[in-house]
A and B are shown apart, each in its own frame.
Chain A
């Protein structure tokens, strides 16, 4: 039985109130927003929200920071690291960041849901999402998924394209972070970034290949975004941001990537130089950023025709809430007119 034999002062007298106070202070300090770095004199301060933890797939932006390309456009760009559930598009739409980057078809779907965002340029001509497979059971095209077991992001647009447009049937498991199932099952297929997982699987001795999901029937961009109000108010800032970002990407992939890699490595001590080199090589091998010059593609390019095709495809498989026009989705005013010299 609980009995109260002493005055209540005793009960609280024994609680180390200083411990509570110290903890509360720590809590308040921890919750407080970090003091924002003051912008460099004469530069316009803007933020770029990325979609994931810093990695070479963001290398062009870090290169533009490191080599002063943004500063040359009068911009002080702060790159906000992403992570799971970061919600780049909502952050752009709510004005928590001036710029964002994400998958192109996600952006189209969001615009159809009424999220006020606008594409201002392509980061990559093709999204790096791919399928990793064991070479003993290879995939040559998405049609080869027939009857296979696949671990993939639930609700991914490309899955619906494969199912509804190509009529391919497969078993699907929700994508979780690990690769244990894949490593242990030669017939298993898993969604990946072609720039990422294959490296680690090979490092563990598996003989694997990766099929880029982007194909003739489905080829989403990766895009840079801003909000229509910001675009209307600061077209020159947007123009400078797109120009410097493209310059950063071209330099990162064709020049010396060390300046960006140093910035990334400082934020991601778990990424080795070998891995970053692999990632960069994969971006070049798959021509993710530069696109296919034979098709007239170049770094940063967005074309109305390709976006039109994507919108039509998304509409056919029924993922758009309402019809959208290309002009609702993207502006082409900031796309450089011809390929930047290699």
Chain B
């Protein structure tokens, strides 16, 4: 594929964004909707600035919940996938139930989560974990099973033990898959945390996070500020995704074909 000039890579999203904002102003103008139904981007940015202290503190709270759930999912997902990748029996026994876990609407589980994990942060971390766990397990397991058969044959010829095959061959080979799972989870974790705050949050020990602000701004009909929480949550999501993209680069750039290298 011919390479696109770098300037276009920067310019295209900006142009698209500007068009979208223009469209937004247009809709607002022609629909005659009031600011408390559809605020303009300008009003949202102004509200974000006005509420910056509260939004920032809330984003910090949400980040803690999101990071907690994300890391829990990243570690447990890795471990679970190892088990599933290593044993056909385990895979057959557990896979349908993992699907059940993923397909169960979290709303159904919130009462149990509140009772077992407790309201506030523990419940929020649990919900975030539930939401971001599956893509990690699914990707990592697929990765472990997708190892190049030539390499597997080589390991077996060299009398490598199953553990060696798993740890020295399959796990490294599955890294791109694992990281793809992490990337999906990174976009889900902040949303999961906000949803968690909205479902099981309480305001003890801090601001209650962005999910709490959604309640607060909604009942107070501060709609531009409400949209500003969405803006804040997007920024938080971008930070998460950027962190995983960096991790992806750190782990893969020296050997994986998705990165350009000098030794090609």
Query: Interface of A with B (CB < 8 Å)?
Result: 1-8, 10-11, 14-16, 19-20, 23-24, 26-27, 30-31, 34, 53-54, 80-87, 90, 94, 177-180, 183-184, 196-197, 200-201, 203-204, 267-270
For A83, what are the chain B residues with a Cβ–Cβ distance below 8 Å? 119-120, 200-203, 208, 212
- Chain B residue total in the interface (Cβ 8 A): 59
Q: Does B219 sit at the interface, judged by CB under 8 A?
A: yes
4 closest cross-chain pairs (CB), A and B: A83-B202, A177-B218, A178-B218, A11-B172
Could you say which of B1-9, B18-26, B97-105, B110-118 contacts chain A? B110-118
Q: Are B36 and A4 in contact (CB under 8 A)?
A: no
Interface residues of B in 35-93 (CB under 8 A from A): 36-37, 54, 64-65, 67-68, 71-72, 75
In the assembled complex, the Cα of A201 lies from the Cα of B72 at a distance in Å of: 42
Q: Are A4 and B173 in contact (CB under 8 A)?
A: yes
Closest CB in chain A relative to B75 CB, distance in Å: 7
B64's contact among A3, A26, A81, by CB below 8 Å, is which? A26
Closest CB in chain A relative to B238 CB, distance in Å: 18
Q: Are A85 and B111 in contact (CB under 8 A)?
A: yes
Q: Could you show 6 A-B contacts with beta carbons less than 8 Å apart?
A: A2-B173, A8-B172, A11-B255, A14-B251, A15-B251, A83-B119
Q: Are B250 and A16 in contact (CB under 8 A)?
A: yes
For A54, what are the chain B residues with a Cβ–Cβ distance below 8 Å? 203
For A81, what are the chain B residues with a Cβ–Cβ distance below 8 Å? 202-204
For A14, what are the chain B residues with a Cβ–Cβ distance below 8 Å? 250-251, 254
Q: Are B220 and A200 in contact (CB under 8 A)?
A: yes
Q: Are B251 and A11 in contact (CB under 8 A)?
A: yes
For B67, what are the chain A residues with a Cβ–Cβ distance below 8 Å? 23, 26-27, 30
Q: Are B219 and A177 in contact (CB under 8 A)?
A: yes
Determine the residue in chain B with the shortest Cβ distance to A11: B172
Determine the residue in chain B with the shortest Cβ distance to A83: B202
Closest CB in chain A relative to B237 CB, distance in Å: 17
Determine the residue in chain A with the shortest Cβ distance to B117: A31
Closest CB in chain A relative to B178 CB, distance in Å: 11
Q: Are A85 and B119 in contact (CB under 8 A)?
A: yes
Q: Does B210 sit at the interface, judged by CB under 8 A?
A: no
Q: Are A27 and B121 in contact (CB under 8 A)?
A: no
Interface of B is mostly: helix
Q: Are B221 and A183 in contact (CB under 8 A)?
A: yes
Q: Does B223 sit at the interface, judged by CB under 8 A?
A: yes
Closest CB in chain B relative to A34 CB, distance in Å: 6
Q: Are A84 and B201 in contact (CB under 8 A)?
A: yes
For A268, what are the chain B residues with a Cβ–Cβ distance below 8 Å? 203
Q: Are A203 and B257 in contact (CB under 8 A)?
A: no
Known contacts A4-B255, A5-B255, A8-B167; decide if A53 and B119 are in contact (CB<8 Å): no
Known contacts A8-B171, A84-B201, A90-B115; decide if A27 and B68 are in contact (CB<8 Å): yes
A10-B255, A80-B202, A200-B220 given; name 14 further pairs at CB < 8 Å: A1-B257, A23-B67, A30-B67, A31-B125, A83-B119, A84-B198, A179-B221, A183-B221, A200-B221, A203-B221, A204-B36, A204-B221, A269-B54, A270-B220
Known contacts A2-B148, A4-B173, A179-B219; decide if A267 and B203 are in contact (CB<8 Å): yes
In the assembled complex, the Cα of A94 lies from the Cα of B115 at a distance in Å of: 9
Determine the residue in chain A with the shortest Cβ distance to B253: A14
Q: Are A84 and B257 in contact (CB under 8 A)?
A: no
Closest CB in chain B relative to A258 CB, distance in Å: 21
In the assembled complex, the Cα of A10 lies from the Cα of B253 at a distance in Å of: 11
For B205, what are the chain A residues with a Cβ–Cβ distance below 8 Å? 34
For A34, what are the chain B residues with a Cβ–Cβ distance below 8 Å? 205
In the assembled complex, the Cα of A53 lies from the Cα of B207 at a distance in Å of: 11
For B114, what are the chain A residues with a Cβ–Cβ distance below 8 Å? 85-87
Closest CB in chain A relative to B173 CB, distance in Å: 5
In the assembled complex, the Cα of A305 lies from the Cα of B108 at a distance in Å of: 37
In the assembled complex, the Cα of A36 lies from the Cα of B116 at a distance in Å of: 19
For A269, what are the chain B residues with a Cβ–Cβ distance below 8 Å? 54, 207
Interface centre among A6, A177, A200 (most CB of B within 10 A): A177
In the assembled complex, the Cα of A48 lies from the Cα of B44 at a distance in Å of: 38
In the assembled complex, the Cα of A178 lies from the Cα of B256 at a distance in Å of: 48
Closest CB in chain A relative to B202 CB, distance in Å: 4
A31's contact among B54, B122, B175, by CB below 8 Å, is which? B122
In the assembled complex, the Cα of A7 lies from the Cα of B255 at a distance in Å of: 11
For A19, what are the chain B residues with a Cβ–Cβ distance below 8 Å? 247
Q: Are A3 and B148 in contact (CB under 8 A)?
A: yes
Determine the residue in chain A with the shortest Cβ distance to B123: A85
For B119, what are the chain A residues with a Cβ–Cβ distance below 8 Å? 82-83, 85-86
For B167, what are the chain A residues with a Cβ–Cβ distance below 8 Å? 8
Determine the residue in chain A with the shortest Cβ distance to B124: A30
Determine the residue in chain A with the shortest Cβ distance to B164: A8
For A23, what are the chain B residues with a Cβ–Cβ distance below 8 Å? 67, 71
In the assembled complex, the Cα of A31 lies from the Cα of B176 at a distance in Å of: 30
For B54, what are the chain A residues with a Cβ–Cβ distance below 8 Å? 269-270
Known contacts A3-B255, A5-B255, A269-B54; decide if A31 and B121 are in contact (CB<8 Å): yes
Q: Does B168 sit at the interface, judged by CB under 8 A?
A: yes
Determine the residue in chain B with the shortest Cβ distance to A176: B218
Q: Are A27 and B72 in contact (CB under 8 A)?
A: yes
Closest CB in chain A relative to B149 CB, distance in Å: 11
Determine the residue in chain A with the shortest Cβ distance to B53: A269
For B146, what are the chain A residues with a Cβ–Cβ distance below 8 Å? 2
For A4, what are the chain B residues with a Cβ–Cβ distance below 8 Å? 148, 151, 169, 172-173, 255
Q: Does B199 sit at the interface, judged by CB under 8 A?
A: yes
In the assembled complex, the Cα of A11 lies from the Cα of B172 at a distance in Å of: 7
For A197, what are the chain B residues with a Cβ–Cβ distance below 8 Å? 219
